[in-house]
Structure 1
Amino acid sequence: MSAKIITITREFGSGGRTIGKKVAEALGYDFYDWNLVSKIAAESGFAPEFVEENCEDASSALPWLFRAQNVGGDLSDQLFAAQRNVIWQLAEKGSCVIVGRCADYLLRTRTDVLNCFIYAEGEAKKQRIIHEYGETEVSIDKRLKDKDRKRKAHYQYYTGRKWGRAFYYDVCLDSGRLGIDACIDTVVSLAKSFTCTTPKEED
């Protein structure tokens, strides 16, 4: 038995997206990251720009802002519901790698999912961000802090879980110490030998 679905939760700058894409290529799986935006937009009826801005990086204050303004009942919850539906549809469709978007939590009742968390130390992440995205007017430290803060707030708001806690993942890999290629090889190997038969228990 092998893992049909692989979820990649990652710190900004850790190379999680690259790892997920290469793992998908190695296994012949579909790969979903930013291409989820158009699918979630179609499911929810929201503009792709709105989905891209709020689907994963929304701060914990956003749902409360929508409620306070009484806009569309609760746009944030509607968006999350659409995200959940799309991810379940993709999981049913076939083998795939899904990056971010609470996929590990949304698919928690399935027994064919390998959940991975990719992280790295600060300097390794800074170098990767500069290499992949270049310099901006905003400092690297602030970009790192803000991006992960928003991901963490969004994840914890909708899942009730602590983002990045090892208990919720099957494997946690330090891409800074191990290197991207070693992380790819590890995830591919684990996916091929995956033998889980029961959903992971909640904490």
Structure 2
Amino acid sequence: MGRMKNTFPFVITISRQLGAGGAYIGQQLAKKLSIFYADREIIGQAARKLSVMEEELEPRDEKSLSLWQFLIQSCACTPETSYIPPQITVPSDRELFKTESEIITRIAQEHSTVIIGRCGSYILREHPNHVSMFLHGDLSFRKSRIQKIYHVSENVAEKMIVQSDEERSQYHYKFTGKDWADARQYGLSVNTGRTGVDKTVDCILTYLELIKVRDCIP
């Protein structure tokens, strides 16, 4: 990759396995580079545009609708009563993806930013100042981090990881037609279990220097 066009904002997109430290690493990169960090901001803007509560979109983060819709419908059932719950308008997967794609594209046009997940690497694949990366780690490393972060048992941590990996993989394939964990899609792939999350930040900053990206950051 050559020198980037410094007339465009600079964007890092991070795809990550659960427990690999993606959110922490993204926040640290944004802080050290003095650029915008976009994660919950995307959910907030999508919720406002779709006229739903943020809490309604959070459970669908990089997941397809089916399970979430089932849970909503289950909770809405009140057998043996005459009460009929109000109709819940649920945006489809396509509607949500289209909305989040528009938001991600707009943010990338307006700010130098770090964007977490949501097929950002695919959505911004034509962006001239875009560096995509995939953060992964072995199961034992990720289980240990999840146990500490969420205060859960090793068994629960493993179930969370397996479920998250499957959901993110299916979501990514549904909207991109590509294998989420295929390193060939990304500019940089890092095993954070080998480097540690803080050293991964240093590794990425060094990589940005090598490809002359930091020259593009205001």
Q: Shorter-chain TM-score category?
A: 0.7 to 0.9
Match of 2:37 among 22, 31, 36: 31
Tell me what 2:14 maps to: 8
Q: Cα distance, 1:147 vs. partner?
A: 1.1
Amino acid at match of 2:55: E
Is 1:49 matched up with 2:55? yes
Identity across the alignment (%): 26
1:16-65 Cα offsets, whole Å, 9 max, x none, are: 11111101101001101123211111122232122211141236x569x9
Match of 1:152 among 169, 180, 200: 169
TM-score (norm 1): 0.84
C-alpha distance in structure 2 between counterparts of 1:94 and 1:38, whole Å:
17
Whether the 8 Å contact between 2:50 and 2:91 is mirrored in structure 1 is no
Q: Given the superposition, is the C-alpha separation of residues 178 and 33 from structure 1 closer, same or farther in structure 2, using an over 3 Å criterion?
A: same
- Give the Cα separation in 2 of the matches to 1:177 and 1:104: 23
Q: Does 1:85 align with 2:102?
A: yes
Unaligned 5+ runs, structure 1: 66-70, 197-203
Deviations 1:123-164 (Å, cap 9, x if unpaired)?
100110011111169722211101111111111101111001
Over the residues paired in the alignment, what is the CA RMSD in angstroms?
2.5
Using the size of structure 2 for normalisation, the TM-score is 0.79
Could you tell me how far apart the structure 1 residues matched to 2:47 and 2:41 are? 11
**Residue in 2 aligned with 1:187?**
204
Of 120, 133, 145, which aligns to 1:128? 145
| Displaced runs of 4 or more, over 3 A | 71-74, 192-196
1:18, 1:4 → 2: CA distance? 19
Distance in structure 1 (CA, Å) of the matches to 2:10 and 2:128? 9
CA contact (8 A) 1:55 1:80 kept: no
- 1:46/1:133 CA distance change after superposition, 3 Å: same
Paired residue type of 2:12: I
Which moves more between the two structures, 133-142 or 113-122? 133-142
